[in-house]
Structure 1
Amino acid sequence: MNFINLIDYAGTFAFAISGIRLASAKKFDWFGAYVVGLVTAIGGGTTRDLLLNVTPFWMLQSSYLIVTGLALLSVILFGKYLIRLNNTFFIFDAIGLGLFVVVGIERSLDAGFPFWVAIVMGMITGSVGGITRDMLINELPLIFRKDIYALACVIGGLVFWGCSRMDMSPTFTQLFSALSVIITRVLAVKYHISLPVLKGHDDQ
């Protein structure tokens, strides 16, 4: 198993936890929580693969379904500790976001697409699962709020590009890119950094 596969599984686990954690807050049953966790984990990658005209990754390996199951088991066994931690959802969501941006970029470059497409696909891989998750639990998706979310994915993509131009090793490039996304999300939330809200005629 290479490093990018480890990142992919870690991102799957983190995003699945974030989805299952929110599902538990909404009083979903175990199967419903598993579905929400799975959609969160594979939604972005599935969209990416369809756009790249390749078979969705989870249809080639059942391991992603198993990783989501392990995430559900973790919440069942340690749920009372996770639920007490108000920042649990945010932490796992930020980690999953950063890791999936890297996976999306790598998959796109491996498919022969230019770097600007890879950055877009990194953003899609990181954000679409969260959008679907929020829609399933009847919440306004994070990407449509003031939060720095999709922009954090773009920043991670630019860091990846910059590291590649400096001929850094693939492992360090992937780590720095993922960390840049996570740090951007953390700093934006901690210091309440957000994009301006687009005002309608009624607000002017």
Structure 2
Amino acid sequence: MTFTETVLLALDLLGTFVFAISGVLLAARRNFDITGGLVLGTLAGIGGGIIRDILLDRVPNALAHPVYLAPPLVATLLIYFIGQRTFRARIWIIVFDALGMGLFSLTGTAIALEAGSPPAVALLMGALTACGGGLLRDVVANEDPAIFRGTDLYLIPALFGSGLTILAERVGLLGGITSVIIAALAFGFRMLAWKLQWRVPQPMRQWSFRAREGRSRGKRLPSVFRRPD
């Protein structure tokens, strides 16, 4: 393996670990048992990468290289043993989630480029890798996915990191040090947006069915897929 390949592998495993930490912390916050922590940690850590690899028609890294299964297990045991030190879990969930997002926006894009994907596809694969695991984690834990909350910039920092990776690869500057810088920039963007409460436009608040119908009738809207009365 070249130096750049070694760095990318290390960053990918680190991203798996920190994303798994966010899943296990969410399980602790929701008072799940250790099995629930392992499930959420595994979904967060390798879920996005598996979806990416399936779409790219390649054997998922988590299956081709069993070492990817170790970070979720280590994360679960770590959080289990530190116990009550996770009382401020919400802050650390955001930090580890942002760190995983930054790392995966880089490695997911690099893997897609290595597989011969055009830049537009690589951009999407990088964002999918960065957001897919967190989306699975939140859905299984019955949380509102961060990617859908207008109060959080989530997809945009992922696309930012993915775009920087493509740009660096195109100009021939994608190497070990550059990779670390790109991941750090994506992480910093996400945390700065969270700290300053940057938001995307939310026109749905002005014209949504819930706003119009819910207020007038004072009751919950029926399912979209239910047959009309």
* TM-score for the superposition, normalised by structure 2: 0.84
Which of 67, 90, 105 is the aligned partner of 1:63? Answer: 67
In the alignment, what sits opposite 1:184? 189
In the alignment, what sits opposite 1:112? 116
Aligned in 2, Cα 1:173/1:140: closer, same or farther, shift over 3 Å? same
Distance 2:124 2:193 in 1: 21
Q: CA deviation at 1:165?
A: 4.0
Distance 1:85 1:32 in 2: 16
Distance 2:50 2:173 in 1: 29
In the alignment, what sits opposite 2:218? none
Contact in 1 for aligned 2:135/2:146 (Cα 8 Å):
yes
In the alignment, what sits opposite 2:157? 152
Contact in 1 for aligned 2:29/2:90 (Cα 8 Å):
no
Aligned in 2, Cα 1:65/1:153: closer, same or farther, shift over 3 Å? same
Which of 195, 198, 201 is the aligned partner of 1:196? Answer: 201
The farther-off stretch of 60-69 and 14-23 is 60-69
Runs of at least 4 residues off by over 4 Å: 201-204
In the alignment, what sits opposite 2:219? none
Distance 2:123 2:88 in 1: 36
The unaligned stretches of length 5 or more in structure 1 are none
Q: CA deviation at 1:64?
A: 1.7
Aligned in 2, Cα 1:201/1:89: closer, same or farther, shift over 3 Å? closer
* TM-score for the superposition, normalised by structure 1: 0.94
Structure label with greater radius of gyration? 2
Q: CA deviation at 1:80?
A: 1.9
Q: How many residues align?
A: 204
The unaligned stretches of length 5 or more in structure 2 are 213-229
Letter in 2 for 1:133: R
RMSD over equivalenced CA pairs, Å = 1.6
In the alignment, what sits opposite 1:142? 146
Q: CA deviation at 1:35?
A: 0.7
In the alignment, what sits opposite 1:16? 20
